């Protein structure tokens, strides 16, 4: 869970997540000891108040890391991904079964987190949230922007997804290792699509990833819309992708 200047929204999101998980715990759907939130503060102006997190995230295991400077959502997700793969933070029972990414601004519903993790448990390697199938009340301007992004992704990655820039995604253990993110900012969504596209078209059938889309609901509020992506951001994404194309090695490499 990346967080940048979220303040009160983060506390509400964690509280909701904790409450949702505890209700699932009561029903025996998940085991509490093994649900971990990797929270990365991406250089927020006011550092995240750990006491406030402790107060609201009742019963959740939260691993917290902070970027000294703001790098971008992609960088924060990559930090979380690497932390989640470190044996130090893995549950006693062994590696995680599923890795879910979600925004910390309250747009994403905690119940959808469990739905995505459930899709991974059911055999998918990648589960992508689809806000259009989930009955979200997507504003028209955002709908147009996302439709253009969808066409762009289809042309550049070959993947025909319904909702390409949804931060609610889940990966199985086979997939997460291949999802290294090098794009620090918002272009990471296209980079993930490209990794998924490459991995789901592997020549050997055993190496191919199984991708599913899961209906999710995204809540739009004045706050989230003001902080979210704009049309001008689309230009920055294309520029970042072009720089990545020019200057990054063709094959992603993990740092030594």
Partner 1 sequence: MMQAEITPAAIALVGLLTALFLHDFVTLARNRRLLLLQLVVFAIGGTLIVYPEIARRLAHFVGIGRGVDFVLYPLVIWLVRESLLSRRRRHDEQERVTELVRAFAASGAHEVVQSRDRAPAHSSGPSAS
Residue ranges binding partner 1 (CB under 8 A): 1, 17, 30-40, 50, 53-54, 57-69, 71, 75, 77-84, 86, 89-102, 113-114, 117, 120, 170, 182, 184, 243, 246-248, 255
Query: SS3 for 21?
Result: helix
Q: How far is the CB of 145 from partner 1 (least distance, A)?
A: 25
Nearer to partner 1, 102 or 149 (CB): 102
Nearer to partner 1, 184 or 195 (CB): 184
Vertex 7 angle, CA 87 and 81, to 5° = 20
Q: How far is the CB of 48 from partner 1 (least distance, A)?
A: 9
Query: Helix crossing, 140-157 with 231-247: angle to 10°?
Result: 20
Q: How far is the CB of 38 from partner 1 (least distance, A)?
A: 4
Residue 208's Cβ-count burial label (10 Å; 0-12, 13-18, 19+) is middle
Are the C-beta atoms of residues 192 and 169 closer than 8 Å to each other?
Answer: yes
Q: How far is the CB of 94 from partner 1 (least distance, A)?
A: 6
Nearer to partner 1, 17 or 145 (CB): 17
Nearer to partner 1, 59 or 139 (CB): 59
Are the C-beta atoms of residues 188 and 169 closer than 8 Å to each other?
Answer: no
Q: How far is the CB of 87 from partner 1 (least distance, A)?
A: 13
Vertex 73 angle, CA 71 and 74, to 5° = 90
Residue with tokens 């706050």: 223
Q: How far is the CB of 109 from partner 1 (least distance, A)?
A: 12
Phi (first) and psi of residue 166, to 5 degrees: -90, 125
Nearer to partner 1, 45 or 203 (CB): 45
Nearer to partner 1, 41 or 150 (CB): 41
Q: Distance between CA 173 and CA 123 in Å, rounded?
A: 11
Residue 128's DSSP bridge partners are 169, 213
């Amino acid at each position: 869970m990346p967080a940048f200047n979220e303040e009160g929204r983060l506390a509400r999101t964690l509280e909701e997540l904790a409450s949702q998980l505890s209700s699932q715990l009561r029903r025996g759907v998940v085991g509490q000891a093994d649900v971990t939130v990797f929270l990365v503060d991406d250089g927020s102006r006011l550092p995240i108040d750990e006491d406030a997190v402790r107060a609201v995230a009742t019963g959740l295991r939260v691993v917290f890391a902070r970027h000294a400077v703001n790098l971008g959502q992609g960088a924060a997700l990559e930090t979380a991904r690497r932390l989640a793969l470190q044996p130090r933070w893995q549950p006693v029972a062994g590696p995680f079964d599923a890795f879910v990414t979600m925004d910390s601004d309250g747009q994403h519903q905690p119940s959808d987190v469990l739905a995505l993790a459930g899709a991974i448990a059911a055999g998918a390697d990648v589960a992508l949230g689809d806000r259009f199938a989930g009955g979200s009340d997507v504003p028209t301007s955002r709908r147009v922007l996302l439709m253009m992004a969808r066409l762009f992704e289809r042309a550049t990655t070959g993947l025909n997804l319904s909702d390409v820039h949804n931060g609610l995604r889940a990966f199985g253990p086979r997939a997460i290792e291949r999802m290294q993110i090098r794009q620090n900012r918002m272009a990471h969504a296209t980079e993930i699509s490209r990794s998924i596209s490459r991995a789901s078209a592997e020549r050997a059938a055993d190496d191919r990833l199984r991708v599913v889309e899961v209906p999710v609901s995204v809540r739009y509020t004045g706050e989230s819309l003001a902080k979210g992506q704009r049309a001008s951001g689309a230009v920055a994404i294309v520029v970042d992708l072009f720089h990545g194309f020019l200057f990054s090695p063709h094959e992603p490499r993990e740092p030594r």
